């Protein structure tokens, strides 16, 4: 069976940011599903979705009092990556960041930076890459490309 990632977000207003994770999963040909499910507005549906999911990793993004990644981590034994979103209601994203990162002992959420959905996608790929040679090799190429881009920009600097 193929590896799969579930992307969740608290509101459709989070989609623009969460699409950065989608781009990464597409780049690495990783199967995913994507849903708007809220810890506060659709708690029952969120729990049902997580309980029935066959995904290997969850990426959950939310803004403000961002409880979505936490509720997913409370239900599932799979890795959960949290994306704090600087939403219109957020206090510069700090409220979302602290809500997601400061989990109680026993219920970890791997938290990326504010609006860091790209890193969430990469981290999900890295988790899957531990047991998937194809994804691991794509990540090695990706890191090499990044390294070469930085070295090229360094060489191109007019000093």
- Nearest approach in angstroms of CB 121 to ligand RP5 is 18
Task: Count CA atoms within 13 Å of residue 29 on its CB side.
Answer: 8
If one asks whether residue 97 binds ligand RP5 (CB under 6 A), the answer comes out as no
Q: Which of 5, 8, 10, 71 binds ligand RP5 (CB under 6 A)?
A: 10
If one asks whether residue 85 binds ligand RP5 (CB under 6 A), the answer comes out as yes
If one asks whether residue 14 binds ligand RP5 (CB under 6 A), the answer comes out as yes
Q: CA-to-CA distance for 21 and 59, rounded, in angstroms?
A: 8
If one asks whether residue 62 binds ligand RP5 (CB under 6 A), the answer comes out as yes
* H helix or E strand, kind and range, residue 71: helix 68-75
Each residue 100-139 as x (binds ligand RP5 by CB under 6 A) or -, in order, gives ----------------------------------------
Which DSSP symbol is given to 4?
E
* Cβ-contact 70, 100 below 8 angstroms: yes
Backbone angles phi, psi at 35, to 5 degrees: -145, 145
Angle, CA 135 vertex, CA 127 and CA 11 arms, to 5°: 60
Q: CA-to-CA distance for 49 and 37, rounded, in angstroms?
A: 9
Q: Interacting stretch for ligand RP5, rule CB under 6 A, among 19-27, 57-65, 99-107, 134-142?
A: 57-65
- CB nearest ligand RP5: which residue? 10
Q: Which of residues 28-47 bind ligand RP5 (CB under 6 A)?
A: 38
Which DSSP symbol is given to 12?
G
Token pair, residue 105, equals: 């002992």
Q: Which of 8, 59, 63, 111 binds ligand RP5 (CB under 6 A)?
A: 63
Q: Which of 30, 80, 87, 128 binds ligand RP5 (CB under 6 A)?
A: 87
Residue numbers at the binding site for ligand RP5 (CB under 6 A): 10-11, 13-14, 38, 62-64, 85, 87, 89
């Amino acid at each position: 069976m193929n590896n799969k990632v579930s992307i969740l977000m608290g509101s459709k207003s989070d989609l623009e940011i969460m699409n950065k994770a989608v781009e990464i999963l597409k780049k690495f040909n990783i199967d995913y599903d994507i849903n708007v499910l809220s810890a506060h507005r659709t708690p029952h549906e969120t729990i049902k979705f997580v309980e029935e999911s066959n995904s290997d990793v969850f990426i959950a993004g939310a803004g403000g009092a961002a409880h979505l990644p936490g509720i997913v981590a409370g239900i599932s034994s799979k890795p959960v990556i949290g994306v704090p979103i600087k939403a219109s209601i957020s206090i510069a994203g700090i409220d979302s960041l602290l809500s997601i990162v400061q989990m109680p002992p026993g219920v970890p959420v791997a938290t990326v930076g504010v609006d860091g959905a790209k890193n969430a996608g990469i981290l999900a790929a890295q988790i899957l890459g531990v047991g998937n040679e194809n994804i691991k090799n794509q990540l090695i190429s990706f890191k090499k490309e990044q390294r070469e881009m930085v070295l090229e920009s360094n060489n191109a600097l007019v000093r």
